């Protein structure tokens, strides 16, 4: 990889609208084990606190808050059964990034991904929506020992682009904290939470946008 600047994207809430995939999977998982259907607002509130980038762990935490102390592997197994099963919720997600925008950005920058998804989950969605080779490297949960807000994934990408400036585009407090820990400028995407723009700015975002397709106006 040359020293050209690198735009590193989170996937969920940035490149992909996951309200009907991951967010719905959290809701259904909690309801299955507890009988309580939580609101999407409650999920966002916890995300805004930080420390809950892992949706499996978040589902387990909400179940515990409701009085059901479940084994982590049990929660993961059910979550994945509705996420990747027949007619899985992953098929409901919507790709947000417009191809022309990515093409223009790709002409000026290297495009990379650092996501909390597993390699399988990321690959499924990218194979359906992105041109092969558009993002390189792609760092997933399978590639790091510590998930966000730990900056390990950004450090891995930086090692593949020595001397290049990185930017990180994400939609959560944990994304912003990972960028800050890595010394990488952060641009926030905040579409669904009235509180999120201010939170991301407090965490050091140099800009907060409603949509990733506005990114060109936020970077030089």
C-alpha separations of 156 from 75, 139, 140, 144 in Å = 29, 8, 11, 9
C-alpha separations of 55 from 33, 47, 79, 146, 161 in Å = 15, 9, 9, 15, 30
Task: Tell me if 56 sits within 8 A of 83, measured CB to CB.
Answer: no
Q: At 2, is the pLDDT very low, low, confident or very high (cuts 50, 70, 90)? A: low
Q: What is the pLDDT of residues 155-182, one digit of tens each?
A: 999 999 999 999 999 999 999 999 999 9
Q: At 197, is the pLDDT very low, low, confident or very high (cuts 50, 70, 90)? A: very high
Residues 108 and 207 in one domain: yes
Please tell me the total count of domains within the chain. 2
Residues 50 and 115 in one domain: no
**What is the Cα 219 distance to its own chain's centre?**
20
Residues 87 and 164 in one domain: no
**Token pair for residue 123?**
């690959």
Number of Cβ atoms within 10 Å of the Cβ of 147: 16
Q: Which residues contact 8 (CB under 8 A, 6 or more apart)?
A: 112, 113, 114, 154, 157, 166, 167, 168, 169, 184
Using the 3D structure, point to which of 54, 76, 91 is the last residue of a domain.
91
Strands 138-139 and 110-114: parallel
- Per-residue confidence (pLDDT) for residue 24, from 0 to 100: 97
Q: Give a yes or no: residue 135 inside a domain.
A: yes
The pTM (predicted TM-score) of the whole model is 0.94
- Residue 1 clears pLDDT 60, i.e. is over it: no
Q: Give a yes or no: residue 132 inside a domain.
A: yes
How much of the chain exceeds pLDDT 90, in percent?
A: 90
Residues 11 and 27 in one domain: no
- Per-residue confidence (pLDDT) for residue 86, from 0 to 100: 78
Q: In sequence order, what E strands does the chain have?
A: 6-9, 16-17, 94-95, 110-114, 138-139, 166-170, 186-189, 207-209
Strands 6-9 and 110-114: parallel
- Per-residue confidence (pLDDT) for residue 130, from 0 to 100: 87
Q: Give a yes or no: residue 1 inside a domain.
A: no
Q: What values do phi and psi take at 6, rounded to 5?
A: -120, 125
What is the residue range of 54's domain? Answer: 22-91
**Token pair for residue 48?**
């805004």
Using the 3D structure, point to which of 76, 91, 106 is the last residue of a domain.
91
CA dihedral 4, 220, 191, 155 (to 10 degrees): 30
CATH number of residue 107's parent domain: 3.40.50.1000
Task: Tell me if 29 sits within 8 A of 58, measured CB to CB.
Answer: no
Q: What is the pLDDT of residues 49-87, one digit of tens each?
A: 999 999 999 999 999 999 999 999 999 999 999 999 778
Task: Tell me if 183 sits within 8 A of 204, measured CB to CB.
Answer: no
Q: What is the pLDDT of residues 111-148, one digit of tens each?
A: 999 999 999 999 999 999 988 899 999 999 999 999 99
């Amino acid at each position: 990889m040359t020293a050209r600047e690198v735009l590193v994207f989170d996937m969920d809430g940035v490149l992909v609208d996951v309200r009907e995939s991951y967010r719905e999977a959290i809701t259904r998982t909690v309801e299955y084990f507890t009988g309580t259907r939580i609101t999407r607002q409650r999920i966002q509130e916890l995300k805004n606190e930080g420390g809950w980038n892992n949706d499996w762990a978040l589902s387990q935490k909400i179940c515990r808050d409701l009085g059901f102390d479940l084994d982590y592997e049990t929660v993961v197994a059910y979550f994945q059964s509705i996420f990747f099963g027949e007619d899985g919720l992953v098929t409901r997600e919507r790709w947000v990034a417009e191809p022309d925008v990515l093409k223009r950005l790709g002409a000026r920058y290297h495009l990379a991904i650092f996501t909390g998804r597993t390699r399988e989950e990321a690959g499924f969605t990218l194979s359906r929506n992105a041109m092969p080779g558009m993002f390189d490297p792609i760092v997933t949960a399978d590639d790091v020992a510590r998930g966000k807000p730990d900056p390990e994934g950004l450090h891995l990408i930086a090692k593949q682009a020595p001397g290049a400036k990185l930017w990180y585009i994400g939609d959560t407090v944990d994304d912003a904290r990972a960028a800050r820990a890595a010394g990488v400028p952060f641009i926030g995407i905040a579409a669904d939470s009235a509180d999120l723009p201010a939170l991301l700015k407090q965490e050091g975002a140099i800009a907060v946008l409603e949509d990733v397709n506005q990114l060109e106006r936020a970077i030089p």
